[in-house]
Chain A
Amino acid sequence: QVQLVESGGGVVLPGRSLRLSCATSGFRFFDFAMHWVRQRPGKGLEWVAVVSYDGGQKYYTPSVQGRFIISRDNSENTVSLHMSSLSIDDTALYYCAAARSNSWHNFDYWGQGALVTVSS
């Protein structure tokens, strides 16, 4: 059974950092690119970042470029998102999602999300 479980969410002050993790099981992790997608309150989904199957390629949406870092550990089947210089606009439910390496644009498997609230 495929499972993706996000952790690390919480309430954080503006300007501070937070690290999200996503533990996966039930599929061949190495065969998949891994994404982070977020949903701000009352809004639609927004793509945030992706890392290739081997960690060699990483791409970010412009609003997080230079502040967020995506990484993966293929020995632990996990993907992480290190978020720094957080602002109120980063408040969202963050999902990790897996996409087969030959079709990064199809998000095959998703987690249930981790809530990040940036507030003073």
Chain B
Amino acid sequence: QSALTQPASVSGSPGQSIAISCTGTSSDVGGHNFVSWYQHHPGKAPKLMIYDVSNRPSGISNRFSGSKSGNTASLTISGLQAEDEADYHCSSYTSGNTPYVFGTGTKVTVL
């Protein structure tokens, strides 16, 4: 099972909006509404930010939003803040030879 494709890095200035893409296939992202996103500050525990494509867990800022079109899911961070600087990983349920697949990861830099 190949990893989902994410851009290696995305950057933006404080207050701006950025979007991170997560591209898979019809066997994973495109075939199921089971895409989730994780924020990971190195050395700390990853944190669930979005589940089932577009839902936010309790306590997650509404500056974070998720969507999907075809085989590509996206995480949008609006009103970018310094604390948003982290690595972001998408994941999806898959009907391939392994039930779950992660993305290649994206480093978000706040300029």
Contact = CB atoms under 8 A, between A and B. Distances in A.
Nearest to B93: A105
A45 B92 CA distance: 12
Interface string A53-66: 00000010110000
Interface stretch (A11-19, A70-78, A82-90, A108-116): A108-116
Contacts of B52: 103, 106
Interface in B1-59: 1, 3, 6, 34, 36, 38, 43-48, 51-52, 57
Nearest to B98: A61
Interface residues of B, number: 28
Contacts of B103: 44-45
A45 B45 contact: no
A105 B57 contact: no
B47 A62 contact: no
A30 interface: no
A59 B45 CA distance: 23
A105 to B, nearest CB: 4
Contacts of B89: 44-45
30 contacts: A35-B100, A37-B102, A43-B104, A44-B6, A44-B103, A44-B104, A44-B105, A45-B38, A45-B91, A45-B103, A45-B105, A47-B91, A47-B99, A47-B100, A50-B99, A61-B1, A61-B98, A95-B45, A103-B52, A105-B91, A105-B92, A105-B99, A105-B100, A106-B34, A107-B38, A107-B46, A108-B48, A110-B38, A110-B45, A112-B45
Given A107-B48, A108-B57, 11 more contacts: A37-B102, A45-B38, A61-B98, A103-B34, A105-B36, A105-B99, A106-B36, A108-B48, A109-B45, A109-B48, A112-B44
